[in-house]
């Protein structure tokens, strides 16, 4: 179980890198009002969602640690908002800068919650 948890955690970080990286590489186009939802952001959001849910299930099922349900609930809510924003806007040729900044800020907020909430 511990090996599976570690694999899922690594994949969760890959999803984070994809989501945040997809936002960061287009800061200039976002400022110019020409940003888009790149495929990496879509796949990153879904990877984060699936691996996050699986991580909680594996940790609870295998008694691999304590889960703070309030923290996980808030992180899940933030990630659902991110995922909805990505899915709704992914087919558009250009996306509002406000939407893209929201995706970037919410992704960063999820990282801060994960690290600082003890």
- Domains of the chain by residue range: 1-116
Q: Residues 74-99, buried b or exposed e (16+ Cβ, 10 A)?
A: ebeeebeebbebbeebeeeeebeeeb
Task: Look at residue 63 in the predicted model and tell me its pLDDT.
Answer: 81
pTM for the model stands at 0.93
> Using the 8-state DSSP alphabet, how is residue 35 labeled?
-
The model's pLDDT over 32-81, given as tens digits with 9 standing for 90+, comes to: 999 999 999 999 999 999 999 999 999 999 887 889 999 999 999 999 99
């Amino acid at each position: 179980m511990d090996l599976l948890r570690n694999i899922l955690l690594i994949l969760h970080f890959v999803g984070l890198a994809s989501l945040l990286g997809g936002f960061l590489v287009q800061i200039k186009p976002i400022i110019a009002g020409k940003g888009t939802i790149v495929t990496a952001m879509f796949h990153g959001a879904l990877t984060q969602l699936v691996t996050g849910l699986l991580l909680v299930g594996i940790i609870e099922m295998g008694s691999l640690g304590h889960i703070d349900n309030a923290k996980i609930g808030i992180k899940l809510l933030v990630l659902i908002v991110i995922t909805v924003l990505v899915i709704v806007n992914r087919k558009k040729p250009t996306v509002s800068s406000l939407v893209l900044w929201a995706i970037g800020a919410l992704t960063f907020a999820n990282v801060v919650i994960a690290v600082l909430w003890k």
